[in-house]
């Protein structure tokens, strides 16, 4: 009974995760994982969040395909491939308590960085930094389904336009999501329960994504993002210290 109730609790979480990423282009895992990991086994929480993100990024990539530029996304992809292999191996043998603590530290670090950031750079960063960001995203994404922060920090410092950032993030996270979910499948991290929960959550994810996309140009981005970051900071503290 408790297990079935926990499965139902994932539905509104997935809706708000989809809403967040539909609006901002990122953040579904950072919203969902602090809650998922409290009610589901860590590996199930990670694999479910990856599949949810794969559905979201497919929709957003199609919507913003004209904003994706090869020179922006290729360094990220090149760096992410070896990182994904390392991350999948780590998750297969990692301790669940350790996963929670590291995830909390990741979320806190990203939230504090984003809340304190005053401006972006007016020049594009070297592609080397894109490779580094992609590598870190691959490791963290495959291990904790929260690989966004390195890439998000990189793109927000690169001086790109708003739609260019959202399109690049969506396409890159689609690429990494395909590789990570495939790795989870072949290593046995994903199982029948994972896919059952994904199908159960899919309508709620889609509802959130389309609502977020609709609100994308209507809600002030900076204000909404700050609210999300404050909530994420609180969730990160919960994971790290409790």
What confidence tens digit (pLDDT) does each residue in 32-53 have?
Answer: 888 898 899 988 998 999 999 9
Please give the structure tokens belonging to residue 116: 């304190």
Q: Considering the entire predicted model, what is its pTM?
A: 0.77
Instruction: Note the pLDDT tens digit of each residue in 165-190.
Output: 888 988 998 998 898 899 889 888 89
Rounded Cα distance between 39 and 10, Å, is: 8
Please, what is the average pLDDT of the chain?
84
Residue 2 has pLDDT above 70, yes or no: no
Rounded Cα distance between 59 and 92, Å, is: 29
Residue 143 has pLDDT above 80, yes or no: no
User: Dihedral of CA 229/144/137/242: which sign?
Assistant: positive
Supply the pLDDT for residue 184: 86
Torsion of CA 167, 170, 174, 176, to 10 degrees: 100
Name the band, by pLDDT with cuts 50, 70 and 90, for residue 232: confident
Residue 122 has pLDDT above 60, yes or no: no
Residue linked to tokens 């072949």: 186
């Amino acid at each position: 009974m408790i297990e079935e109730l926990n499965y139902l609790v994932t539905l509104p979480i997935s809706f708000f995760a989809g809403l967040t990423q539909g609006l901002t282009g990122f953040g579904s895992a950072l919203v969902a994982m602090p809650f998922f990991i409290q009610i589901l086994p860590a590996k199930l929480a990670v694999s479910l969040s990856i599949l949810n993100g794969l559905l979201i990024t497919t929709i957003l990539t199609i919507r913003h395909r004209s904003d994706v530029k090869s020179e922006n996304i290729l360094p990220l992809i090149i760096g992410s491939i070896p990182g994904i292999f390392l991350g999948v191996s780590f998750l297969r043998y990692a301790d669940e308590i350790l996963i929670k603590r590291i995830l909390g530290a990741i979320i806190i670090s990203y939230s504090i960085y984003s809340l304190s950031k005053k401006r972006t750079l007016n020049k594009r960063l070297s592609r080397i930094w894109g490779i580094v960001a992609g590598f870190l995203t691959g490791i963290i994404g495959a291990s904790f389904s929260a690989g966004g922060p390195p890439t998000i920090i990189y793109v927000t410092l690169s001086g790109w336009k708003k739609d260019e950032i959202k399109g690049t993030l969506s396409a890159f996270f689609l690429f990494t999501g395909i590789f990570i979910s495939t790795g989870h499948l072949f290593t046995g991290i994903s199982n029948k329960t994972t896919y059952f929960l994904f199908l159960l959550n899919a309508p709620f994810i889609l509802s959130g994504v389309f609502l977020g996309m609709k609100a994308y140009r209507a809600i002030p981005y900076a204000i909404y993002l700050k609210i999300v970051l404050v909530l994420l900071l609180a969730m990160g503290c919960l994971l790290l210290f409790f």
